[in-house]
Amino acid sequence: MEPYLGHRKALERRLPDGLILLSGGTMLTRNHDVDFVFRQKSHFLYLTGVEEPGCHLLIDPKRRRHTLFIPRIDNHHRVWLGHVPGPQEARRLFGIDRVAYTDELPAALRRAKAGYRKTYLDAISASRHKQALRGVAAAPALLEDALQELRACKTPGELALLKQSNAVSGQAHREVMRSVRPGQYEFEAQAVFEAACLRRGFRHLGYPSIVATGTNGAVLHYHRNAAKIKDGDLLLIDAGAELKGYTADITRTFPANGRFTRRQRDIYSIVLAAQKSCIARSRPGIVSADLHLHSMTVIAEGLKDLGILRGDTAGLVEGGAVRLFYPHGLTHMLGLDVHDVTGGRKRRMPNPTKVPVRFVARLEPGFVITMEPGIYFIGALLQDPALRRKHRASVDFAKADGFLDFGGVRIEDDIVIRPGAPLNLTDVPKEIADVEEACRR
């Protein structure tokens, strides 16, 4: 648990002039007396590693005290839900010297606030403990910003967890490639992936698995996972397991029958070239929006070579024609959240390109980002009358319409930014020959 102590001390150094209070997550009712599977809040997990619900953390910088508050459990709870650590066991498990019960928190706050004019706390804590913290100013926005700044650059301990989640997720992706065949259903491929993670002790996913065959592959956040897989179709699977909250985010697209057709090879090769080129450019100091612009340029050039796009490449990118086929961002931060924090106010910067991009940051050592270009043939875009009029000079819509049964291709790896060449955490086949080899029964 030593890395979590390091995270707490870093936050203490960042905010030395006030009490720091965070509430962990609580169980959420699914229906009647059934709860959703609990997942701890990411900030709380970052600071404590505690995955139990109903806890609180109080950091007192002046007295150098870190106190974990845990629920007081009665025998009724033990009968139905089993053992829950008490204070003595929690100190040993979580590496926190001071552990108390949550019903002791108000009194602890009244004692601890002496000598402070400010409290850094989350919104839930501010609401719950208003009386106990009366007379001390609350600064939730400053706490959020400090945690965003700290979480942006991953520590060695965090990178170790991300490597493990990538390794297990990668093995699960390989099992899907090896087992899928035409005639199965998308949910069967999902079951292979998730069972492979469970067998290795990874009980949680970082996000709901996307398993999309045929035209479903053109739905960016497809979630039904219920269609039959047909011979000749591609299967796109975007799935990742998490360990102590740290998730992998991996996408592979492969032929259900194990062999790419010519047009599948053509589209896949463009996406792969864009991804590899962007990974090679991922160095400290590079702006993420510039990487996205580069990926759009590579994809526009590739679609021009196929005769689907025409005209000046820069115009195809700036004018938006390429976005008919590549409508999402290239990259996002990764860590305790699949779309992780972007680094707080000090890292915010304007978009230096003319292209709309969601994630804009100057890359730093310790950032972990995804790299996920794609090409899709989406009826909602390609058959939109206004878009067809706007881009009629740039798009051969007759050719593009011939791909409406294609679906899409996305390839996604998880990349660590470091001095010199980046580190790719993802080890799943993606070269065409390697993918076909991995699909052999």
Q: How many residues does the chain have?
A: 441
b/e 101-138 (16+ beta carbons within 10 angstroms → b):
ebeebeebbeebbeebebbbbbebbbebbeebbeebeb
**Coil, strand or helix: which one is 113?**
coil
Helices (H), 254-344: 262-280, 288-305, 313-318
Task: Kindly tell me the burial class for residue 262, based on how many C-beta atoms sit within 10 Å of its own C-beta (0-12, 13-18, 19 or more).
Answer: exposed
| H or E element that contains 295 | helix 288-305
State phi, psi for 225 to the nearest 5 degrees: 50, 45
CB 343 within 8 A of CB 315: no
Eight-state DSSP code of residue 287: B
Taking each helix axis as running N to C, give the angle between helix 156-179 and helix 2-14, from 0 to 180 degrees, rounded to the nearest 10. 130
Residue pointed to by tokens 């069967």: 188
| H or E element that contains 254 | strand 250-255
Looking at the predicted structure, is the pLDDT value of residue 24 above 90?
yes
Alpha-carbon distance 145 to 358, whole Å? 19
**Average pLDDT taken over every residue of the chain:** 96
Q: In angstroms, how far is CA 341 from the centroid of its own chain?
A: 9
Q: Kindly report which listed range (137-141, 308-312, 314-318) carries the lowest average pLDDT score.
A: 137-141
Question: Per-residue pLDDT tens for 68-98?
Answer: 999 998 888 888 888 888 899 999 989 998 9
Task: Tokens for 235, please give them.
Answer: 């299967």
CA gyration radius, the chain: 25
Alpha-carbon distance 243 to 163, whole Å? 10
Residue pointed to by tokens 């009724």: 76
Looking at the predicted structure, is the pLDDT value of residue 272 above 90?
yes
Alpha-carbon distance 19 to 203, whole Å? 35
- In order of 182, 270, 317, the CA distances from 305 in angstroms are 31, 10, 15
**pLDDT level of residue 1 (50, 70, 90 thresholds):** confident
Write down the pLDDT at residue 356. Answer: 85
Question: Per-residue pLDDT tens for 98-155?
Answer: 999 999 999 999 999 998 999 999 999 999 999 999 999 999 999 999 999 999 999 9
Q: In what order do the strands lie in the sheet with 98-101?
A: 98-101, 65-70, 56-60, 19-23, 118-121, 137-138
Helices (H), 113-239: 123-128, 140-152, 156-179, 186-199
Q: Collect all residues with Cβ–Cβ distance below 8 Å to 430 and sequence separation of at least 6.
A: 252, 272, 275, 411, 413
Percent of the chain having pLDDT more than 90? Answer: 92
CB 137 within 8 A of CB 117: yes
Q: Which of 196, 207, 195 is nearest to 170 (CA)?
A: 196
Q: Collect all residues with Cβ–Cβ distance below 8 Å to 148 and sequence separation of at least 6.
A: 341, 342, 343, 344
Looking at the predicted structure, is the pLDDT value of residue 47 above 80?
yes
CB 48 within 8 A of CB 2: no
Task: Tokens for 430, please give them.
Answer: 């993606």
Looking at the predicted structure, is the pLDDT value of residue 301 above 80?
yes
Residue pointed to by tokens 């706007």: 390
Q: Give me the residues paired with residue 374 across strands.
A: 410
Alpha-carbon distance 239 to 209, whole Å? 5
* Beta strand pairing call for 423-424 and 413-416: antiparallel
Question: Per-residue pLDDT tens for 353-398?
Answer: 888 888 899 999 999 999 999 999 999 999 999 999 999 999 999 9
Alpha-carbon distance 62 to 67, whole Å? 13
Q: Give me the residues paired with residue 413 across strands.
A: 371
**Coil, strand or helix: which one is 18?**
coil
Write down the pLDDT at residue 319. Answer: 96
Alpha-carbon distance 150 to 336, whole Å? 12
Q: Kindly report which listed range (130-139, 164-173, 258-267) carries the lowest average pLDDT score.
A: 130-139
